[in-house]
Amino acid sequence: MPIATPEVYAEMIDRAKAGSFAYPAINVSSSQTLNAALKGFADAGSDGIIQVSTGGAEYFSGQGVKEMVTGSLAFSAFAHEVAKKYDVNIALHTDHCPKDKLDGFVRPLLAASIERVRQGGLPYFQSHMWDGSAVPLQENLQIAEELLALSAQAHTILEVEIGVVGGEEDGVANEINDQLYTTPEDAVATVRALGAGEQGRYLAALTFGNVHGVYKPGGVKLRPEILRTAQEAAATELGLGSGSRPFDLVFHGGSGSTEQEISDAVDYGVVKMNVDTDTQYAFTRPIAGYMLANYDGVLKIDGEVGNKKLYDPRAWGKVGEAGLSARVVRACENLRSAGTHA
């Protein structure tokens, strides 16, 4: 199917929230990992989200270019073409963008989509993330208001981060401390600044102990009940009834999360969960195994010439792709999106 239109993406989010499931958002950095993610969603019978970070976009542009906007537009063009062959809806998203990279990443991409929409076309991406976790909340929300207005013009959705995700991703590192927990006051400030959709739709990455990186289950102290409290505070501020979930929530830093923690987060309104570290390993691990098992074919050793069929990048690349696809299927199952494609 074609990449999701703005209307289809909005319907995807509405359906996830109403059905208490979430979409995995899979980070990719190459055509191989993009193809693997697409196949994983199709195998799971799930719509999904595929995204690039600042570093992933730069890598996508090639080592001779290393330019985030070029890489992002190349990613979008490739995805739009190959996604047509799969019977699931896919939304494209740009991941964490801190303040110092806005002018070289999100703002020019929004400008490009606005121009395309003005000419009667569709945006290059369906959503973009502004990561204001490193600046004071007031400044975070001021920038979010500006970007939300641009997003509305581009027919895209804005993702904001209210709170701090610990650990490190793409060179952005945060300490693991009490700042990892969004407060009800933060939630109220967010709806006062950004509204409840009337200024443009947004996703909110509220933090409840999330940490980027590699952790064993139990190694991260998550408190999903914070999401419920934030929803209640926002609902009260907006005059909504008991049980309302005004925020469309995003789960970052999920490595090491237990199945119960993931389930609780989805119940409290998470509709998107980022999956990056796990899929990186799922892609690389089978390739490492392949290389070790076939070392005498992929290396020219002892005066031999190796085995072209074994060191052909397509031979070991598809092994990695299969591993990543399988991990996407498991993510869909854990988030209950498997089999939900309409």
Active site residues: 95
Contact in structure between 241 and 286 (CB atoms under 8 Å): no
C-alpha distances in angstroms, 218 versus 23, 127, 133, 275, 281?
23, 31, 24, 18, 19
Beta strand pairing call for 172-174 and 167-169: antiparallel
Cβ-in-10-Å burial (0-12, 13-18, 19+) of 281 comes to middle
List CB contacts of 6: < 8 A, sequence separation 6 or more: 122, 123, 126, 155, 156, 157
Contact in structure between 319 and 313 (CB atoms under 8 Å): no
Shortest CA distance to 280 belongs to which of 214, 226, 229, 206? 214
List CB contacts of 49: < 8 A, sequence separation 6 or more: 23, 24, 25, 26, 90, 91, 92, 93, 126, 127, 272
Scanning the structure block, which residue is given the tokens 């995003």? 250
Largest CA distance in the chain: 77
**Amino acid code (one letter) for 142:** Q
